[in-house]
Amino acid sequence: MGAARLGTMKTRLPAALLLLTATVLSACSPPSQQDSTAPETSEVLTTSATASALGPIIVPADDLAEVSAVSISLDRPLSITAGAETTETATTTDAATATESADWTATISDPSVAEFVAGGVRNGARFNPGIKALKAGTSEVTLVGPDGVAHTLTLKVVTDNAATGIDR
């Protein structure tokens, strides 16, 4: 009886392994139809990467006299770099640069379109002064640096990030 039972097990074991393999492989196979409402992974990654890759529109303080207009968007604010910030990263220990960043002011003719964001040191990090978009539109902006020199430009807030930039 032992030999007959062993023979039966030899035929059942390969059949069981075949059934197990088929079950595992079918669980790993993609579904026959994709859910048309769910975005593909590459679409989600591309959208997120594009949105996070945009930086501010940067204008060095020394170049403001040459700027007639700046177009920004809700995703791309205007950042004014001052002092050592134009050539290298300044640290929070650079008190002169931090003070210079904090000493900028601005007047915006239509405050519903954009707002001035003061520079300076906050929570151990140094920030440049700049303009943050609030809604699409146009406004005249006068920026006054720590030297007291006023720079007036036309600020355009656009909805298309590709349309952002600087007019000289």
pLDDT score, position 13: 58
Q: Which of 41-50, 53-62, 80-89 has the highest mean pLDDT?
A: 53-62
Question: How many other CB atoms are found less than 10 A from the CB of residue 38?
Answer: 9
pLDDT score, position 82: 76
Closest CA to 82 of 66, 102, 68: 102
Mean pLDDT of all residues in the chain? 76
Interval 108-132 mean pLDDT: 95
- In this predicted structure, the answer to whether residue 91 has a pLDDT above a threshold of 50 is no
- In this predicted structure, the answer to whether residue 88 has a pLDDT above a threshold of 90 is no
Give the Cα separation of 86 and 154 in Å (integer).
22
CA torsion through residues 120, 126, 129, 130, sign:
negative
Give the Cα separation of 34 and 41 in Å (integer).
12
In the structure encoding, which two tokens stand for residue 167, read together?
């007019």
